[in-house]
Amino acid sequence: MIQFSDLGLSQPVLQALDLKGYSTPTPIQEQAIPPVLEGRDLLGIAQTGTGKTAAFMLPGIDRLREADNRIPFKSCRMLVLVPTRELAGQIAASAKDYGALAGLKVQSIVGGTSVNKDRNKLHRGTDILVATPGRLLDLIDQKAFNLSGVEVLVLDEADQMLDLGFIHALRRINQLVPKERQTLFFSATMPKQIRELVSGYCHNPVQVSVTPESTTAERIEQFLFMVQQDEKSALLELILSGRHRVPGEFDLVLIFTRTKHGADRVVKRLSRAGIQANAIHGNKTQGQRLRALDEFKRGKTKILVATDVAARGIDIPGVSHVINFELPNVPEQYVHRIGRTARAGRDGVAIAFCAEDERAYLKDIQKTTGASLDRLDLPENFRAVVEGVGPTKPPPRGATRVSKKKVRAKPVGSAKGNDASKRKPAAKHPARKGKPQGKRPGAPGGGQAGAGRRRGAGGRDRRSRPGGGRRQG
């Protein structure tokens, strides 16, 4: 069996790996490290959880040590571009661990944080910079950073960066980095746009692939519920509360929705059922996202609801289940979603909720990935449970909105109801006691009570104007 020591890595890097307890490389690391050490450009096709970070970071650190160049002013020697904040944090932490004994400086910059702080920490430059494209270009436009010193350029999760609309940013960055550089390009899928991007970034790259394109991990059991849209929340509550058993033992559960508002709605619905969960998506601040992720890692909150954008970079071995509350409309996203489980050699369970209007998405997923999802039966008397009349109906959910124009209903069992029959009918035009209803003091015209009044806009009574109530001029 091949060891890291057989791949040509330097002693400081091998010692750092020993400190982390790593001795045997994964297939992507075994194939990628030797050509990268030789200075070749690389195109790596690998799914999430296969060890891509070490595949480019370990030889990258060695290349920087070997060159022994000075840190460039307001620039970096190795630039790693990633699609999301969470992934940037994860890769920066790994770079610090792997390069702990190499004496290299590591920084990361992402959107949603203070631009001034980023300017200050990059003023003297850095060896390794992990960045999201948007924040990087912000600093470049402000003349606070430049790419003239880049020796090694890494694009990680390139397909996701295209999905997020970073294509123009990537093309601009390609024009700003030196032509004489080493480029390492990693993607889980290889659509036409990615191939075109590779041709502009890489020169005669070595291609390595450890899994067939767009296939799902074998260690993940995949299951399917066919359920109506309005029944999904009730089904999720029954599963997470343990009232309906599904395969696998729960540890940490990651739930996916297509939209940010959908994620917030799921969290609120679970909260009303007494189930604690956090949401993580693009509308959350960086601090909120980091706190939610930290609570999830530590197991303080065992349920995390996420969108596709925010989920990149969630590398937590304890994720036992991934639940697709809503199926993705891009089949490759399904691969990334369920890849959040079965990490670090563990097994995992992926469960998909599919409504009638999502059948086309399901068909695309099965066609693209070749995955076979085993169908699970809905709970007994499930329709009755959804309607709240079954023997196993969920607990009261508290206040619910009846309609946009009606008042909010009181919780079940509340002493204060909204019985309209107990209210006194309001008078249409209550008379003012002790005050005449006629002319305004000092106003010309009128005289008798109620004289000089007319109907105004919106049905309200308005006092008359001079001249018998007609508008002057």
**Cα–Cα–Cα angle for 358, 363, 365, nearest 5°?**
95
Q: What is the pLDDT of residue 400?
A: 36
Other CB atoms within 10 A of residue 320 CB: 19
Judge whether residue 396 has pLDDT over 80.
Answer: no
Confidence of residue 465 (pLDDT cuts 50, 70, 90): very low
Q: How large is the average pLDDT for residues 218-226? A: 91
Q: What is the pLDDT of residue 126?
A: 97
Confidence of residue 372 (pLDDT cuts 50, 70, 90): confident
Q: Provide the Cα torsion 201, 207, 212, 214; round to 10°.
A: -10
Q: What is the pLDDT of residue 311?
A: 62
The rounded distance, in Å, linking the Cα atoms of 243 and 234 is 11
253 near 323, Cβ under 8 Å?
yes
What are the structure tokens assigned to 411, written together?
Answer: 């919780």
Between 103 and 469, where is the model more confident? 103
Judge whether residue 401 has pLDDT over 90.
Answer: no
Q: How large is the average pLDDT for residues 177-198? A: 89
Judge whether residue 431 has pLDDT over 70.
Answer: no
Q: What is the pLDDT of residue 448?
A: 45
Q: What is the pLDDT of residue 162?
A: 85
Q: What is the pLDDT of residue 211?
A: 62
353 near 340, Cβ under 8 Å?
no
Give the range among 164-178, 249-263, 455-469 with minimum mean pLDDT: 455-469
Share of residues in the chain with pLDDT > 70 (%): 79
Q: What is the pLDDT of residue 222?
A: 95
The rounded distance, in Å, linking the Cα atoms of 358 and 329 is 8
Q: What is the pLDDT of residue 94?
A: 93
The rounded distance, in Å, linking the Cα atoms of 6 and 361 is 45
Give the range among 7-11, 336-340, 442-446 with minimum mean pLDDT: 442-446
What are the structure tokens assigned to 110, written together?
Answer: 């992402």
Q: What is the pLDDT of residue 416?
A: 40
Confidence of residue 394 (pLDDT cuts 50, 70, 90): very low
Q: Which residues does residue 461 pair with via DSSP β-bridges, in sequence order?
A: 455
Judge whether residue 456 has pLDDT over 50.
Answer: no
Other CB atoms within 10 A of residue 192 CB: 7
339 near 312, Cβ under 8 Å?
no
**Cα–Cα–Cα angle for 87, 89, 91, nearest 5°?**
70
Q: What is the pLDDT of residue 239?
A: 96
Confidence of residue 159 (pLDDT cuts 50, 70, 90): confident
Between 262 and 444, where is the model more confident? 262
Q: What is the pLDDT of residue 322?
A: 96
Confidence of residue 61 (pLDDT cuts 50, 70, 90): very high
3-state secondary structure (DSSP) of residue 1: coil
Q: How large is the average pLDDT for residues 459-468? A: 45
Judge whether residue 411 has pLDDT over 60.
Answer: no
Burial degree of 134 (CB within 10 A; 0-12, 13-18, 19+): middle
The rounded distance, in Å, linking the Cα atoms of 402 and 400 is 6
Confidence of residue 224 (pLDDT cuts 50, 70, 90): very high
Q: What is the pLDDT of residue 188?
A: 79
Q: What structural domains and CATH numbers belong to the chain?
A: 4-209 (3.40.50.300), 220-387 (3.40.50.300)
Confidence of residue 344 (pLDDT cuts 50, 70, 90): low
The rounded distance, in Å, linking the Cα atoms of 341 and 315 is 9
Share of residues in the chain with pLDDT > 90 (%): 56
Residue that is written with structure tokens 């767009």 in the block: 214
Other CB atoms within 10 A of residue 384 CB: 14
- Per residue in 289-317, pLDDT (tens digit) is 889 989 999 999 999 999 987 666 677 88
Q: Which residues does residue 129 pair with via DSSP β-bridges, in sequence order?
A: 79, 107
Q: How many CA atoms lie within 13 A of 372 on its CB side?
A: 2
Between 358 and 391, where is the model more confident? 358
Judge whether residue 407 has pLDDT over 80.
Answer: no
The rounded distance, in Å, linking the Cα atoms of 394 and 273 is 7
Judge whether residue 120 has pLDDT over 60.
Answer: yes
303 near 270, Cβ under 8 Å?
yes
Other CB atoms within 10 A of residue 420 CB: 7
Beta strands in 277-396 (DSSP E): 278-280, 303-306, 319-324, 348-354, 374-375
The rounded distance, in Å, linking the Cα atoms of 446 and 394 is 66
Q: How large is the average pLDDT for residues 200-218? A: 76
